[in-house]
Amino acid sequence: MTRLALIAHDEEKPEIIDLVHAYEDLLATIDLVGTGTTGKRIADETDLTIERKESGPVGGDLMIGAEIAENRLDGVIFLRDPLAAQPHEPDISALLRICDVHDTPLATTRSSAEFLLEGLDRRIDPK
């Protein structure tokens, strides 16, 4: 089954919830994993099941990076705040590097996330 990680900086959490609502039917067919707070918001605000790792500040992003290294993820959506990320929020540089090493797509904006989701949808259900 397809497996996707979802992460969002604090200021981007409303945007990732909106994205998840927009693609909820597709995401219901995918194994989801997320960092602690993002995963909790998704679980609380949708009908989706999501495996929650630790929160980003205590290593959740690194746990997701380990899954990438083990080829257990088909993609990552990490909606980040490029202008005002807080020190306690996950850093994208390690995830970007491991995604590049393992040729795993990583989306950092709403637009790129939609392209990633559409690509996964075509792979799951070729039309």
CATH code for the domain in which residue 96 is found = 3.40.50.1380
Q: How far is Cα 35 from Cα 55, in angstroms, rounded to an integer? A: 5
Alpha helix segments (H runs only) across the chain: 13-22, 24-27, 36-45, 60-69, 92-101, 110-124
Catalytic-residue membership of 61: yes
Q: How far is Cα 83 from Cα 8, in angstroms, rounded to an integer? A: 14
Catalytic residue among 61, 100, 121, 125: 61
pLDDT digits (tens, 9 = 90+) for 41-94: 999 999 999 999 999 888 999 999 999 999 999 999 999 887 765 666 566 788
Structure tokens at 100: 């590049």
Residue 119 belongs to domain spanning: 3-124
Q: How far is Cα 20 from Cα 83, in angstroms, rounded to an integer? A: 23
**Residue 40 is labelled as binding a ligand:** no
Structure tokens at 21: 């609502």
**Residue 88 is labelled as binding a ligand:** yes
**Residue 56 is labelled as binding a ligand:** yes
**Residue 2 is labelled as binding a ligand:** no
Write down the pLDDT at residue 90: 60
Looking at the structure of the chain, the number of domains it has is: 1
Provide the whole-model pTM.
Answer: 0.93
Structure tokens at 106: 């990583």
Mean pLDDT, residues 98-115: 97
